[in-house]
Amino acid sequence: MPARLLDGQHIRDQLFEELQPRIARLRAAHRAPGLAVVLAGDHPASQIYVRNKIKACETLGMRSFRHCLPPTVSTAELLSLVSALNQDPAVDGILVQMPLPSSVDARAVLHAVNPDKDADGFHPVNAGKLMENAPGPRPCTPAGVMEILRRSDIEVAGRKAVVVGRSDIVGKPMALLLLHAHATVTICHSRTPDLAAECRQADILVAAMGRPEALGAEHIRPGAVVIDVGINRVKGRVTGDVNPQAARERASAFTPVPGGVGPLTIAMLMANTVSLAERHLGLAECCW
């Protein structure tokens, strides 16, 4: 039987539909949620990501504030902008698009964002909340993966999950979210001996290493659920970290690239911003 396709666009649309009455309530009682996006430099992929995020705000009736800065921007200038956004009552969420120019201290800029406006969930305060499973904004891509699993009726509790990749943005928070959902979790990385053997233990395999089609049939246990977080551009096409043919043939379900996890990343950014707005404006509802 061919693997079931986990359609991220369909799940994104479900989330958007659920967010709309919450946004309407905010607009009626106070104002629309506001997301500020900071883009520094001329990285082509970042420009596309920012356009998609602004478009999602427009689709949902949220306010967006785009700040585009040249590649020559200094750390001090970015810190000054973040400070102003922290103090702006119209801004509920702040997103600093990565990567920043190499001359900028990216860690200092991310740490300068008010944790209560951290739409990406990257601030150390919110990372600590994730660690102890306390309410707070979660990193958008891992949170989106959990929505895919939940809305696709894929059981997590008691399952063996393997996460390939240990980044602060995806791999580590992904492992924590799976652990909080009662999976038994293994994190693999570039120093893992016999990666294929580790991956074949997985009921749920999450690929997040940023290497095009690095995982093949030998990494997938028959019947496993494969979540491909990778987005790689190779010779004009977009591909994930998993060989798609291997996923179709061996998995019970898998996320395609594009159209799988990617749409959920933006949906969870919108959800984080709405929840932050509800907190700022004194409404109790929260999606965390």
Contacts of 59 (CB under 8 A, 6+ apart): 16
Q: What is the pLDDT of residues 85-125, one digit of tens each?
A: 999 999 999 999 999 999 999 999 999 999 999 999 999 99
Break the chain down into helix, strand, coil percent, rounded to 5.
45, 15, 40
Q: What is the CATH class of 140-262?
A: alpha beta
Q: Helices 8-29 and 262-280 sit at what angle, rounded to 10 degrees?
A: 20
What count of residues does the chain have?
288
| Residue that is written with structure tokens 């996460």 in the block | 163
pLDDT of residue 88: 98
Strands of the sheet with 253-254, listed across from one edge: 4-5, 253-254, 225-228, 204-207, 160-164, 184-188
**Within this chain, domains 31-115 and 140-262 share the same CATH topology:** yes
pLDDT of residue 235: 87
What does the pLDDT average to over 74-86?
98
Domain map (residue ranges) of the chain: 31-115, 140-262
Q: Is the pLDDT of residue 286 over 60?
A: no
How many Cβ atoms sit within 10 Å of the Cβ of residue 269? 27
Q: Is the pLDDT of residue 192 over 80?
A: yes
pLDDT of residue 151: 98
Name the pLDDT band for 48 (thresholds 50, 70, 90).
confident
Percent of the chain clearing pLDDT 90 (strictly above): 92
What does the pLDDT average to over 212-226?
98
Superfamily (CATH H level) for 31-115: Leucine Dehydrogenase, chain A, domain 1 (3.40.50.10860)
pLDDT of residue 284: 65
Positions marked active-site: 53, 97, 120
Q: In 3-state terms, what secondary structure has residue 168?
A: coil
Q: pTM here? A: 0.95
Greater model confidence, 282 or 35: 35
Lowest mean pLDDT among 48-52, 79-83, 131-135, 184-188: 48-52
Please, is 114 exposed, middle or buried when counting C-beta atoms within 10 Å of its C-beta (0-12, 13-18, 19+)?
Answer: middle
Q: Is the pLDDT of residue 39 over 90?
A: yes
Contacts of 52 (CB under 8 A, 6+ apart): 266
> What average pLDDT does the chain have?
95
